[in-house]
Chain A
Amino acid sequence: MSDYLVEISGSTSLAQISLQVQGEEAGASEFKSSSVSFHGGRITNLATFSELDPGTVPEPITFLAHDAPLPTGAKIVWAGVMVVAGNTSALKASRR
């Protein structure tokens, strides 16, 4: 299965980033990474997803501030920088 890009607006809040990524994963995809990029004339987040086999839904993913405690039993699946609500922020993504 192939990888593809989606855009997560730089004006998106941290909580909504989690929901948007979960929403994308709900369609049998898996979040791999995100990078701050220039697209469509603006500074934004371009996230890479991998297509999974039909019918596959990954464990829920959550985005946290880089220094926030991890939920119990969760492991970090990605760490990096995203534009969150207009500000560049260091984040991590965790999954059980």
Chain B
Amino acid sequence: MKYPFLGVLMVVLCGCAGIRHGGAPKQSFDVNADLKALAKKYQEATKIEEFYAEPSDAKRNEFVSGRLVLINIRYIQFVREFTRERQFLDSAADLLMLSLNLAGAGTGSTEAKTILHSVAAGVGGAKVSIDKNYYFEKSIPALAAAMNAERAKVMVRIGEGMSKPLALYPLVDAIVDLQNYFEAGTFLGAINAIQADAGAKKAAADTEIALLKDLTPEDITGKQSLTRAVGALNDARKAAAITLLRSLGDALADDADLRTVKVKLQGKVRTARTPEQIADLAMKFKAANLLDATVNP
């Protein structure tokens, strides 16, 4: 190459432009302005007094679909603030497209299609830097996925409602569902959904979760003594330990190995969680000569 320096400079400058605009050319129009125009178009359809002037299924659906469009537009603007991940924007754009269909806009509308295409492509300027906290950034995919999932669930309910006559899905019910739809698209809504799901999974998987009870330092010392007695178990005391375990409901062979006996006996100590249970087990340990009588309790 005759002018290697110039060649390198051109590559660097072209690369810099790509990096500055998120790896894509600068958008030729203002996506936010277009979303604003779309919102303005549907604003008029969502006035409650318009519905009550002449209530009907059609007026209700016009109100609901208009509100859905507005909520979805705001949601896309919100999501674009903290992520450019295609998968999350795609999902949000899908629901907006659905609500536009319901509102009669149709996916054939050139204006709507162009806006939605650029929204879904995630271009249009540098990502807004909101919070560089490491844990927040790691949470974004989970939060965005939860919001999209919860919004889709409520959208199904709204869609079913819109197919019912007014008497079965009155406007007040629709307004409640629209509010739930909005809240599903918030961080708090996502966190609640994640926690409820995690809690439900834990509850299903661990039906027997012991509730700890109040203990005194003396109770704790007593339980520690039992644990140390298990640790001190040797072959000479193994037979006594096996007899004790059998009296506590554990069937063990006479020739069970020492480690097995220790593990099982430790299990009994571990599950003694109230002062009464600890004291009762200590008495049984003493009776089996497994606990030094000079140690508590």
- Mark A residues whose CB is within 8 Å of B: 5-9, 12, 16, 19-24, 26-29, 37-40, 46, 51, 54-57
Contacts and interface: CB of A to CB of B under 8 A. Distances in A.
Of all A-B residue pairs in the complex, the 6 with the closest CB atoms, nearest first, are A55-B231, A38-B199, A27-B270, A26-B223, A54-B266, A54-B262
Nearest to B271: A27
8 contacts: A19-B216, A19-B217, A20-B215, A23-B223, A23-B273, A28-B269, A37-B202, A57-B227
Contacts of A12: 212, 214
B209 A7 contact: yes
B266 A27 contact: yes
Contacts of B203: 38-40
B209 A27 contact: no
Contact of A46 (B202, B213, B227): B202
A86 B223 CA distance: 28
Given A38-B203, A57-B227, A28 B266 contact: yes
The DSSP consensus for interface residues of chain B is: helix
A54 B233 CA distance: 10
A21 B200 CA distance: 24
Interface string B59-71: 0000000000000
Contacts of B195: 37-38
A20 B216 contact: no
Given A27-B226, A55-B230, A57-B224, 16 more contacts: A5-B206, A6-B209, A7-B209, A7-B211, A8-B212, A16-B214, A20-B213, A20-B214, A23-B215, A23-B220, A23-B273, A26-B220, A27-B269, A38-B200, A55-B227, A56-B231
